[in-house]
Chain A
Amino acid sequence: MLKNYFKIAWRNIWNNKLFSVINIVGLAIGIACCTVIFLYVNNELSYDHYHTKANRLFRLTTIVHQPKKNDHFAPSSPITAAKLKQQFPEIENIVRLNESKRNISYKGKHFYENDMLYADSALLDMFSYEVIEGNPKKALSSPYSIVLTESAAKKYFGNEPAFGKMLQFSDTINLMVTGIIKDMPQNSHFHCESFLSRSTMNDMNKNNEDWNLNNENNWFNCNSYSYILLKENVDYLKLQSKMNAFIEKEMAELKKQYGMDLNVELQKITDIHLKSHLDAEMKDEVNGDITYVYIFIGAALLTLLIACCNFINLSTTRSLNRSKEIGLRKVIGARRPQLIAQFLGESMLFSLIACVLSFLMVLVMKPAFNSFVGTSLTFNAGIFWLYLIIIIGIGILAGLYPAVLMSSFSPIQSLKGKVSHGISDIIFRKGLVIFQFSIAIILIVGTTLILQQLNFIQSRNIGLKKEQVLTLELAASDAPKADLLLKELLKNPKVVNGSLNSFSFKGTSNITALPEGAAQNEMTASYVICADENFLKTYQIALTAGRDFSKSFATDATEAFLVNEAAVKSFNWKNPKNALGKKIEWGGLKNGKVIGVVKDFNFASLHENIKPLIIHVYPGWCNKISLRLKTDNLPATMIEIENSWKSIATQSAYKYHFMEDEFNNQYRSEQNMKTVLSAFTFLSILVACLGLFGLASFTIKQKVKEIGIRKVLGSSVSGIVQLLSKDFLKLVIISFIIGAPVAWYGMNKWLQDYAYRIEIKFWVFALAGLLAFLIAFLTVSIQAFKAALSNPVKSLRTE
């Protein structure tokens, strides 16, 4: 019986090539989209699950309460974690990670490394990195130990064994390689190339009183990413409130003194990648966003749904051609469930073939997706189950309606070929077409608006000119040579301007300051950029009042501040003019007066509004040289700059980037979404058109006689095309009426996420509607023309 079903299904597929190709290709595209997204979502959800103790690992984040605002930081101060560990036996262990930017050298080769982390010795015990060599318990306990990943070891030592070798750190200090670990899995919320023992940092600074005070023992110095491992069966939320009660007691004094205090929040390590968007997330890591994951899933399911609609629609339409077979089977003894089973089997065979085809498509699509989205998706056993679900699910979903409908025909009617579809069936099928095109219109509008918003962000006047600014990164050991280096670089005629500063879109330091007019205990954390006299000129930032720093004022280096307009407002200084001359006490390190107010510029992501900012001259914290370049013959200029660098910073690696890239990098997840959504939009329109094409061709075939009669009676070709296309185009118009408001609502919601956003213009909808209309018109009218141009004698004779 099954064999018979299979045979007839296969021969049906083979004998109706147009129908089969449309169905299978459409379904395969839908399934391929789903598969890729399944892999992607799987990957997104798998972040940090590879740690065997993942369910007990938490990140300690800090909420700093200030008089006017609260800030939630991903890192916390080293002392917070240390004190909590002493106090709470529920905590099995802690590890604190501090970022480091240093030169590493081996045998005269220099590498500028900003991918290193200082880590407590418990690291390799808490996190499940695969240790290849070394003792995981001891590798990071003594000072001047370094644990390398395989790729770092390869970079420094080539094919030589690395374990036990020495590396130079900051040109003068010796580090011993005490461990080699496998490269960190891609699905980790942070990545680095090597871990230094945290005791190294302590030992290097052991004679530095200020460091001990400000770094290790300052509650407000949130610079360590702290992870804690809880003992089994500890309720972390309960522990968190106990922790906060403890911290409140500990900090009572400080609160009185500074008017600030803090509390902590525990974050599941497995939640960080998708759900954490705190201030000062680990550098260079762009966390995903659960919303985008949902959007991707939605888009993939919609594409699949469109393909299913095709399937249902085409199968139902085509059932007319099979009515004879159904009637006959009934006459020779088939019962209805047997017929339904037969047709469901057929649609499962369709989806099986589509799955095979889609697997091939995924093989082709995967590398492209990986390179666009920056993931490394791999197949896993889940795929098998996904396909099984799809084959059965789609088989039933797409096959049930046609199967039930077809098996309901009375045998005599169907043998005579007299079956016709009822009104409700016609409405159902029109509904499917409307549904498909509504989705297509929503996707077109969505993609257009996302494109617009991203263009808007990228080309927006953000108050500074990021284009053609090259930034060179300085290691700590380069600091003494920074001035010399800058002078040398400015000699190059292609360099228009240059500045030594600390500015980066990715993270600006946040330091407490006491502005004039505020009470002693009303310190405010303000963003700060350390700069020199050329910073504003290099970035072309405008002044609204006062003056820029200048070498001709000797005091500018020691007691002058620039603030932005947002700061003027936040400090209650009324207006920029009024702000000039106001006093600022900055971080306990500098006291001075405001000499100028700069126009607001976006120094962080455009998701956020512009925050209060203080700019001052402070060479000690400057770790970048920014150069504004002339655009002509850029490659040659780049080589000249590299040569100048090498002639002076002989011991340092040359590391640079363009500010425009840095700026755009902040919108990587949006870029990903744009790419993926554009692809889905295209594919879903393609699938919808395939369906419309198939449907139109069947409908027109049924109207061959009518076309013939009309032609004989003198109708023109255009008249017939109009007649045939009208019905379909009406459906597209209804789709627009349904799709447009949905798209407007959804996109409006998405745009709320941006502090700076485009207005939704009417023409976007008009464009989407017109596009859908045109595509549908082309699809249908090609066949309508063909039918209209055929010789009526022929079509009438065949009847």
Chain B
Amino acid sequence: MIELKNIFKSVKTGGEKIFLLRDIHLKIKEGEFVSIMGPSGSGKSTLLNVIGMLDGFEEGEYLFLQEPIHKFKERQRAELYKKYIGFVFQAYHLIDELTVYENIETPLLYQDYKSTDRKAMVSHMLDRFNMVAKKDLFPSQLSGGQQQLVGIARALIAKPKLLLADEPTGNLNSRQGEEIMELFKKLNYEDGVTIIQVTHSEKNASYGSKIIHLLDGRIDKQL
């Protein structure tokens, strides 16, 4: 599904060139559950953003579903990730002014679904996450764990093939974190959604089928 070859990415700070990613080679097959680990500043989030096509890179090749992403224009990339990728964030990033229902619905608005379809899809998602009673609440009225559930529901609403999660449990307590991880495992197992998550915790990483360790922008080891 994903194939990264010789990826290099750098930034300039104070006249010095700092490499965020060096020579990344990576293959991820459909249906895998991958965890990316590594100390702060090792390039985990950057790698995730590159995979999610939110960020570019200077050198190398990126094939997504056999398509050469590095040759695509911004617009084409956006169309692609809109269709195939869902994002989950550490800080949830819900829109404060929208209710739970509306937050989950938003991605569909950008993909030209009909109103009746949207309703059905959102209702189904609310059902599945046991949030029907909370659909009219605003994010500020929910606990962190509940907010992250909404974030995941939103990421899944458009039926992505790939779910990218940047420290999804970073702001949660351990019980809430476990629930989220169980959910990821279930999604991966039952629905066949490919998941790539960035995490600090060995325990969370163990839910996945593969662990990638990064150090100073390099892949240190793959397990």
Contact B107 A4, beta carbon cutoff 8 Å:
no
A15 within 8 A of B: yes
Within 8 A of B (CB), among A1-19: 1, 4, 7-8, 11-12, 15
Which residues of chain B are within 8 angstroms of A331 by Cβ–Cβ distance? 54, 87, 93
Which residues of chain B are within 8 angstroms of A330 by Cβ–Cβ distance? 78
A415 within 8 A of B: yes
Complex Cα distance, B55 from A12, in Å, reads: 29
Complex Cα distance, B86 from A328, in Å, reads: 12
The distance from the CB of A335 to the nearest CB of chain B, in whole angstroms, is 7
Which residues of chain A are within 8 angstroms of B89 by Cβ–Cβ distance? 415
Also in contact, A332 and B97, with CB within 8 A (given A411-B54, A412-B54): no
A624 within 8 A of B: no
B95 within 8 A of A: yes
Complex Cα distance, B93 from A7, in Å, reads: 18
Which residues of chain A are within 8 angstroms of B54 by Cβ–Cβ distance? 331, 411-412
Which residues of chain A are within 8 angstroms of B111 by Cβ–Cβ distance? 333
Segment of B5-13, B35-43, B98-106, B121-129 in the binding face? B98-106
B82 within 8 A of A: yes
Which residues of chain B are within 8 angstroms of A415 by Cβ–Cβ distance? 89, 93
B154 within 8 A of A: yes
The distance from the CB of B11 to the nearest CB of chain A, in whole angstroms, is 12
Complex Cα distance, B150 from A328, in Å, reads: 14
Within 8 A of A (CB), among B54-96: 54-55, 75, 78, 81-82, 87, 89, 93, 95-96
A555 within 8 A of B: no
A4 partner, pick from B55, B78, B109, beta carbons under 8 A: B109
Within 8 A of B (CB), among A315-338: 324-325, 327-335, 338
Within 8 A of A (CB), among B114-135: none
Also in contact, A338 and B110, with CB within 8 A (given A325-B95, A331-B87, A411-B54): yes
B49 within 8 A of A: yes
Q: Which residue of A has the minimal Cβ distance to B75?
A: A335
Which residues of chain B are within 8 angstroms of A332 by Cβ–Cβ distance? 82, 87, 106-107, 110, 154
Complex Cα distance, B82 from A249, in Å, reads: 89
Contact A4 B106, beta carbon cutoff 8 Å:
yes
Which residues of chain A are within 8 angstroms of B75 by Cβ–Cβ distance? 335
Complex Cα distance, B111 from A559, in Å, reads: 101
Complex Cα distance, B107 from A333, in Å, reads: 6
Q: Mark B147-164, 1 if CB is under 8 A from A, else 0.
A: 000000010001000000
Residue among A328, A331, A334 with most chain B CB within 10 A? A331
Contact A333 B78, beta carbon cutoff 8 Å:
yes
Complex Cα distance, B96 from A328, in Å, reads: 12
Q: Mark A343-357, 1 if CB is under 8 A from B, else 0.
A: 000000000000000
The distance from the CB of B29 to the nearest CB of chain A, in whole angstroms, is 24
Q: Which residue of A has the minimal Cβ distance to B155?
A: A332
Which residues of chain A are within 8 angstroms of B93 by Cβ–Cβ distance? 324, 327-328, 331, 415
The distance from the CB of B83 to the nearest CB of chain A, in whole angstroms, is 8
Complex Cα distance, B54 from A330, in Å, reads: 9
The distance from the CB of B120 to the nearest CB of chain A, in whole angstroms, is 17
Contact B110 A334, beta carbon cutoff 8 Å:
yes
Which residues of chain A are within 8 angstroms of B102 by Cβ–Cβ distance? 4, 7
Residue among B49, B89, B109 with most chain A CB within 10 A? B109
A8 partner, pick from B97, B107, B158, beta carbons under 8 A: B97
Q: Which residue of B has the minimal Cβ distance to A331?
A: B87
Which residues of chain A are within 8 angstroms of B97 by Cβ–Cβ distance? 7-8, 11-12, 15, 325
Within 8 A of A (CB), among B139-183: 154, 158
State how many residues of chain A have any CB contact under 8 Å with chain B: 22
Contact A8 B87, beta carbon cutoff 8 Å:
no
Within 8 A of B (CB), among A485-516: none
A333 partner, pick from B55, B82, B96, B98, beta carbons under 8 A: B82
Q: Which residue of A has the minimal Cβ distance to B109?
A: A1
The number of chain B residues touching the other chain, given as a range, is 20 to 34
Contact A335 B98, beta carbon cutoff 8 Å:
no
Q: Which residue of A has the minimal Cβ distance to B111?
A: A333
Contact A335 B109, beta carbon cutoff 8 Å:
no
Q: Mark A23-42, 1 if CB is under 8 A from B, else 0.
A: 00000000000000000000
Contact B95 A328, beta carbon cutoff 8 Å:
yes
Q: Which residue of B has the minimal Cβ distance to A4?
A: B109
Q: Which residue of B has the minimal Cβ distance to A325?
A: B95
Complex Cα distance, B105 from A91, in Å, reads: 75
Complex Cα distance, B112 from A1, in Å, reads: 9
Which residues of chain B are within 8 angstroms of A333 by Cβ–Cβ distance? 78, 81-82, 107, 110-111, 158
The distance from the CB of B47 to the nearest CB of chain A, in whole angstroms, is 13
Which residues of chain A are within 8 angstroms of B107 by Cβ–Cβ distance? 332-333
Complex Cα distance, B81 from A636, in Å, reads: 92
Complex Cα distance, B98 from A324, in Å, reads: 13
The distance from the CB of B209 to the nearest CB of chain A, in whole angstroms, is 26
Residue among A324, A333, A338 with most chain B CB within 10 A? A333
Which residues of chain A are within 8 angstroms of B105 by Cβ–Cβ distance? 4
Q: Which residue of A has the minimal Cβ distance to B86?
A: A332
Q: Which residue of B has the minimal Cβ distance to A412?
A: B54
Complex Cα distance, B109 from A338, in Å, reads: 11
Q: Which residue of B has the minimal Cβ distance to A12?
A: B97
Residue among B54, B75, B154 with most chain A CB within 10 A? B54
Q: Which residue of B has the minimal Cβ distance to A14?
A: B97
The distance from the CB of B51 to the nearest CB of chain A, in whole angstroms, is 13
Residue among B82, B95, B102, B158 with most chain A CB within 10 A? B95
The distance from the CB of B202 to the nearest CB of chain A, in whole angstroms, is 26
Contact B154 A412, beta carbon cutoff 8 Å:
no
Which residues of chain A are within 8 angstroms of B96 by Cβ–Cβ distance? 15, 325
Which residues of chain B are within 8 angstroms of A411 by Cβ–Cβ distance? 54
Complex Cα distance, B98 from A334, in Å, reads: 16
Complex Cα distance, B96 from A411, in Å, reads: 17
Which residues of chain A are within 8 angstroms of B109 by Cβ–Cβ distance? 1, 4
Q: Which residue of B has the minimal Cβ distance to A328?
A: B93
B98 partner, pick from A1, A8, A327, A338, beta carbons under 8 A: A8
- The interface of chain B, by Cβ under 8 A from chain A, is 49, 54-55, 75, 78, 81-82, 87, 89, 93, 95-98, 102, 105-107, 109-111, 154, 158
Known pairs A327-B93, A333-B107, A335-B75; list 18 more (Cβ under 8 Å). A1-B109, A4-B106, A7-B97, A8-B97, A12-B97, A325-B96, A325-B97, A328-B95, A330-B78, A331-B87, A332-B82, A333-B78, A333-B81, A335-B110, A412-B49, A412-B54, A412-B55, A415-B93
- The interface of chain A, by Cβ under 8 A from chain B, is 1, 4, 7-8, 11-12, 15, 324-325, 327-335, 338, 411-412, 415
A-B contact pairs, 29 of them (CB 8 A): A1-B109, A4-B98, A4-B102, A4-B105, A4-B106, A4-B109, A7-B98, A11-B98, A15-B96, A324-B93, A325-B95, A325-B96, A329-B95, A329-B106, A329-B110, A330-B78, A331-B54, A331-B87, A331-B93, A332-B87, A332-B106, A332-B154, A333-B111, A333-B158, A334-B110, A335-B78, A412-B54, A415-B89, A415-B93
